[in-house]
Structure 1
């Protein structure tokens, strides 16, 4: 028996309050995110709390989806909420995507 089978299933729409579109436009899978220092003391729960913890160092939207075992669209909605609340900020995007970054993004998307 797989230990993951014991975990309760939470439907993705429950994590986003039924929303499918993020409040913040422009969140691509390679967008790098970082938590603001005060975010760890914010009263957050579940996936929002975990995203803030993971983004103590810059992390992409795709990396978050893999780490949370959640659909990319769900992560985009939650991250957009955190950006709107001022708890996550978008890091400056690189002018040029390197081959290594593109391959890492590809690998993360495949892992979804």
Structure 2
């Protein structure tokens, strides 16, 4: 089966080399702000078909594409990849600009996020 909770599809989380001196923000080119605003509950879905070769993408993009074959929130992606939320937001925003992922922004009702969506995000985080 999978490599841990939430990895029922047999995928393993992206993990930088433990001995690597490279900091997480290096993969974003030092940027800490995404191109577009991404709430942590924004849902992300890969636009790349499962059979498509991902080897031409950087490892972080490969991991996100693989993870997002199922719809996942930005917060889930950050937790599963074990990268700071800011890094995940920058990477996902860049991927959206390149049409590698599709974003589903939460519908706000009078400034309040959808309760059903928040329950799904919380459930996903608990599975971690």
Q: Above 0.5 in TM-score?
A: yes
- Report how far residue 107 of structure 1 moved: 5.2
Greater relative CO, 1 or 2 (CA 8 Å, sep 6+)? 1
**Structure-2-length-normalised TM-score:** 0.67
Residue 61 of structure 2 is aligned with which of 48, 52, 61? 48
Question: Considering only aligned residues, what root-mean-square deviation do their CA atoms show, in Å?
Answer: 2.8
Task: Return the TM-score normalized by structure 1.
Answer: 0.76
The CA deviation at 1:104 is 3.5
Q: Which segments of structure 1 move beyond 4 Å, counting only runs of 4 or more?
A: 105-108
Q: What is the total number of aligned residue pairs between the two structures?
A: 104
Residues 77 and 28 of structure 1: is their aligned pair in 2 closer, same or farther, counting only changes over 3 Å?
Answer: same
Q: CA deviation at 1:8?
A: 2.3
The farther-off stretch of 72-81 and 89-98 is 89-98
Specify every segment of 5 or more residues in structure 2 that has no aligned partner in the other structure, as ranges: 1-14, 109-113
Residue in 2 that maps onto 1:36: 47
**Unpaired runs of at least 5, structure 1:** none
